[in-house]
């Protein structure tokens, strides 16, 4: 199991220099990859370019590029450019985002996401392979019919023979799609105890494509707080988990809330969401059961973290993307070093 450092999007009070020191430390202690995210603040591509220029070995990944933010061609152009800037270290993670961001921020309708994602990845692969892009899909038609558009191909090749494409997915059908068309799967609020049902979905998707999951990378994004005081570590996680379970979407369309319900936390999911949407964020965070926090995060003393790392490895995780949770840069650096030590022991 390889370690990836997930630096998310700009936040937690860290300066650019703080972020860079964290990435360099991860590279120094043997992390395989570093991942950047985007929502409606900092974008992922610019951060990855900046990191690529100041590192040598660590791979760079988008977790994720938002489908509604870029046309498939722009996504391919960006990935190819980053592959050159990093000398072949690019991993392309993409995802649908959510309806509030897609429609409220990017002005793109959040509809028919399974078909949209399928077509999007097909076009991206065509472009990265430097094929002339002619595509007649249900969502995308390239070139546009009855207009001056011309079928084009990417003018630059990639450094890697094939840039791996990972799909962020939460729902059952989207997880199947990851197994069918992607090289890796990026889940959020991942539970290693429930990996069997996820693996079933991934394998079902792979069978549809006539392939198996050999070489397929399960790469969950997991928040980490290494602290001898378990309750204090859990409390660090509460605002983040409450935001996703309670407030990342509407009452009718919150994919994270639906996910933890499938884990068996129906009552807690209902309560946290109700409180959060009423503006009672602290109460929502306090209402999270310790068992739920322990299921979807890594928190507690070193020995406990070591045991949980073994559980993730046993679950078939290939890349564990970790986000050290602390407002203090030195504490984050410490956790990066400790995670490298602990991972080497499992």
Which sequence spans correspond to the domains of the chain? 2-228+297-345, 229-296
* Bridge partners for 142 per DSSP: 135
DSSP codes joined into one string, 115-182? HHHHHHHHHHHHHHTT----EE-SS-EESPTTSS------SS--SSSS--EEEE--SHHHHHHHHHH-
Alpha carbons 137 and 97: distance in angstroms, whole number:
21
Question: What is the C-alpha to C-alpha distance for residues 205 and 53, in angstroms, rounded to an integer?
Answer: 37
Contact criterion met (CB below 8 Å) for 275 and 203: no
The per-residue pLDDT for 9 is 84
pLDDT for the residue 160: 98
Distance CA 22, CA 334 (A): 10
Q: Check: CB of residue 7 under 8 Å from CB of residue 333.
A: no
How would you classify residue 255: left for phi > 0, otherwise alpha for psi between -120 and 50, otherwise beta?
alpha
Q: Are 171 and 96 in contact (CB under 8 A)?
A: no
* Residue whose structure tokens are 């109460």: 283
- pLDDT attached to residue 12: 60
Rounded to an integer, what distance in angstroms lies between the CA atom of residue 44 and that of residue 62?
6
What per-residue confidence (pLDDT) applies to 70? 98
With a cut of 50, which residues of the chain have pLDDT below it? none
pLDDT score at 15: 84
pLDDT of residue 98: 85
Q: How far is the C-alpha of 38 from the C-alpha of 75, rounded, in Å?
A: 14
Q: Torsions phi, psi of 331, nearest 5?
A: -65, -40
pLDDT at 106 (0 to 100): 96
Is 2-228+297-345 assigned to CATH 3.20.20.30?
Answer: yes
- Please state, in angstroms and rounded to a whole number, the distance separating the CA atoms of residues 187 and 319: 11
């Amino acid at each position: 199991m390889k370690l990836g450092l997930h630096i998310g999007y700009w936040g937690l009070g860290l300066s650019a220099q703080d972020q860079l020191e964290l990435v360099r430390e991860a590279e120094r202690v043997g992390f395989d990859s570093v991942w950047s995210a985007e929502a409606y603040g900092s974008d992922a591509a610019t951060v990855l370019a900046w990191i690529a220029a100041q590192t040598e070995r660590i791979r760079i990944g988008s977790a994720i590029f938002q489908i509604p933010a870029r046309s498939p061609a722009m996504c391919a152009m960006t990935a190819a450019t980053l592959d050159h800037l990093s000398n072949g270290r690019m991993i392309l993670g993409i995802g649908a985002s959510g309806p509030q961001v897609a429609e409220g921020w990017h002005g793109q309708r959040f509809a028919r996401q399974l078909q949209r994602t399928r077509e999007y990845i097909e076009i991206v692969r065509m472009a990265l392979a430097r094929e002339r892009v002619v595509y007649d899909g249900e969502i995308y038609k390239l070139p546009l019919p009855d207009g001056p558009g011309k079928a084009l191909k990417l003018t630059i090749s990639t450094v890697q023979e094939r840039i791996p494409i990972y799909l962020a997915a939460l729902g059952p059908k989207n997880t199947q799609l990851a197994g069918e068309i992607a090289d890796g799967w990026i889940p959020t609020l991942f539970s290693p105890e429930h990996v069997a049902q996820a693996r079933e979905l991934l394998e079902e998707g792979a069978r549809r494509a006539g392939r198996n999951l050999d070489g397929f990378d399960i790469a969950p994004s997991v928040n980490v707080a290494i602290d001898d005081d378990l309750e204090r570590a859990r409390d660090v996680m509460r605002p983040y988990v409450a935001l996703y379970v309670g407030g990342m979407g509407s009452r009718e369309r919150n994919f994270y809330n639906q996910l933890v319900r499938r884990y068996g936390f129906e009552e807690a999911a209902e309560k946290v969401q109700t409180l959060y949407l009423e503006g009672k964020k602290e109460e929502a965070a306090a209402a999270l059961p310790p068992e739920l926090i322990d299921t979807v995060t890594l928190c507690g003393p070193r020995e406990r973290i070591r045991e949980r790392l073994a559980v993730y490895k046993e679950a078939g995780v290939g890349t564990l993307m970790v986000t050290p949770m602390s407002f203090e840069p030195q504490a984050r650096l410490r956790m990066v070093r400790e995670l490298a030590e602990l991972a080497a022991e499992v």
